[in-house]
Structure 1
Amino acid sequence: MVLPVTGQSVMTESQRQHRFAVFLAFGLVYFFWGSTYLAIDIAVEKIPPALMCGTRFLIAGVFMLAFCGLRGKRIAYSPRQFGEMAAVGILLLVGGNLTLSYAEKHVASGLAALIIAVTPLWFLVLDSLLLGDHHISRRGKAGLALGVAGLVVLLWPQLRATASFGHTELWSSISLLGGSFSWALGSVLAKKWKSPEVDPFSATAWEMIAAGAANLLFALGVEDLSHIHWTTRGVSAIVYLVVCGSWIGYTAYIWLLGHVPTSKVSTYAYVNPVVAVFLGWLVLHERIDAYILAGSAVVIASVILVTSAQVTTKAALDQLPAVETTGD
């Protein structure tokens, strides 16, 4: 049977534009988020982490919301929708980003990025629990196991250096695992709660505003704000985080969540460490030893296994077409 070709060129052009948008969004997330590890490391040298995060996200969110309003995009939502945006923002930008900012006071930016690279493993587990009746293949399970092995290699120098529970660098590294779980949970919920009624850009703005306010409240309640040094170096890092990390990178990430499977979106987690390790070595002269090289190779291999694994669902099986027994 020959299919009609009417509209084929239009569809091809539409697909080409969509493909370009996807590639561009991935490129923005890969590079700018890889560089934010370095910027966060610089920003928290003199500025408390929660204050830095709160300032960053509140400024980014308010300006983005104003921009959306000027462009005529929807900015008012129902209480339930506002609640979902706030929950996603807090999981991503407090549970995920604030944890990272605190950890980078004790952990090198490159190592932090490598530990965060386990995020796709959380994605696989949470996808199966929250987005349907998924079955994780043997390949996916092998990737999960390999990821744990890679983390052991990365953290082995710290595990070997102390048998106590007070080693700051070790516990900061472990906290990054909790932060990566929070980030994955927020991302999966953002996809689960996606609605055609919600503009993704204004939703992103509200998420950043909610997270910025939560971070500032945390800063007021916990951090010592009496000895703050707003250095040119620190402020420049915050400006970079606002523009490149929040406005550009975070918006591209939220857009990708609405157009690409989360398992593919999560590939940023094994590209960002490459950028972060290189910039940390180039700018901050951070060490790159055999454990980091070996551990990063194992973690990246595990993530590739996970993201390339087949994940089947009952719904997908139910939607398979019946097998035809007749010829063409």
Structure 2
Amino acid sequence: MPFSRIPPLTLAAFFALYVIWGSTYLGIRIGVESWPPMMMAGLRFSLAGWLMLAYLCVRKYPMPNARELGGAALLGLLMPAVGNGLVTVAEKDVSSGVAALVIATVPLFTLLFARMFGQKARKVEWAGIGLGVCGMVLLNMGANLKASPSGAALLLLASAGWALGSAWSRHLTQPKGPMGSAWMMIFGGAALLLASQVYGEKLLAMPPLSGWLALLYLAVFGSIIAYSAYLHLLKTVSPAAATSYAYVNPVIAVLLGVVFLGEHIGLHEMLAMSVIVAAVVLISWRR
């Protein structure tokens, strides 16, 4: 579609995914310095979900039925809880830029899971998956992930959970419009807060201003705005286009991490970023 014919709402949704989600890795890295990770992620999604639901109730949006709530609960577990919660836990030990690089593999996982729902992959897409695997091997040779194999495993599980939710969302009955975003975050937030209690996370001291600002930024911009934008794109554009944020977010996350946190990105990470971005571009390629 020519750029001039793209609807303004779709353009705004792409901007939210490319820029806002790219900056959330920085927000998470700042936040986990003063919050227990699962507690912070659970508060983030609970706050965002209940605020959205309150607004939608005031606007008299129809409430979803039981079947739609079931779909929202499943997506909430896969996407906010597993997909984002594990990223938050991993960023206790892994830099924000490297975390974004691993999450850039989401379109590769999405393509694999899409086959479960009858979507066939083209040869060029299989080539992209192969190239993405090479990028992951390079990334694991770098110092960041070598120092934290558990962080690498959590990030890969997060990518797989998010990708499965993305592929499944097109086939699940779920609440319509922004109600879907609200309930998905409510269920995801509840699952994360429960996990926080089970694992015995405790807030040892009141977070400083930076911790509260990180939480609010993640809740309002990273959740309410960006999640709604993502669900809108999943319903209006192709899965490849909806997940194209994956080759913009790593660049933004790496740059922000270097500028604001002084993170070091080595040669292996830079090569891996180039290879992973090339792989995602390849599987998204259209004639």
TM-score using structure 1 length: 0.83
Q: Which structure 1 segments of 5+ residues have no match?
A: 1-14, 162-167, 311-328
1:239 to 216, 232, 235: 216
| Count, aligned residues | 285
Aligned to 1:318: none
The residue aligned with 1:176 is 155
Taking only aligned residues, the RMSD between alpha carbons, in angstroms, comes to: 1.9
Look up the equivalent residue of 2:8 and give its one-letter code. Answer: F
Superposition map of 1:12-161 within 5 A: 19-74=7-62, 76-130=63-117, 133-158=118-143
* Separation in structure 2 between the aligned mates of residue 23 and residue 228 of structure 1, nearest angstrom: 42
Structure 1 residues 111 and 67: CA distance shift in structure 2, 3 A: same
Pairing of 1:243-258 with structure 2 (within 5 A): 243-258=220-235
1:282 aligns to 2:259 (yes or no): yes
Q: Percent identity at matched positions?
A: 36
- Is 2:103–2:246's contact at 8 Å kept on the other side of the alignment? yes
CA contact (8 A) 1:73 1:199 kept: no
Tell me the SS of whatever aligns to 2:60. coil
Q: Which residue of 1 aligns with 2:188?
A: 211
Runs of 4+ in 1 over 6 A off after TM superposition: none
Q: Which residue of 2 aligns with 1:313?
A: none
Q: Secondary structure at the match of 2:80?
A: helix
> How many angstroms apart in 2 are the aligned matches of 1:209 and 1:185?
19
Give the C-alpha shift of residue 147 in structure 1: 0.3
Q: CA deviation at 1:95?
A: 0.7
Residue 17 of structure 1 deviates from its aligned partner by: 7.3
How many Å separate the matches in 1 of 2:286 and 2:150? 31
Q: Any conservation in 2 of the 1:137–1:309 contact (CA below 8 Å)?
A: no
SS at match of 1:21: helix
Paired residue secondary structure (2:94): coil
Letter in 2 for 1:97: N
Going by fraction, where is helix more abundant, 1 or 2? 2
Offset at 1:77? Answer: 2.0
Q: If you compute each CA radius of gyration, which structure gives the higher value, 1 or 2?
A: 1
Contact 2:23 / 2:253 at 8 angstroms: preserved in 1? yes
Q: Structure 1 residues 160 and 47 mapped into 2: Cα distance closer, same or farther (>3 Å)?
A: closer
Asked whether the 8 Å contact 1:40–1:104 carries over to 2, the reply is: yes
Which runs of structure 2 are paired with 1:300-319 in the superposition (5 Å)? 300-308=277-285
Residue equivalent to 2:179 = 202
Q: TM-score, normalised by structure 2?
A: 0.94
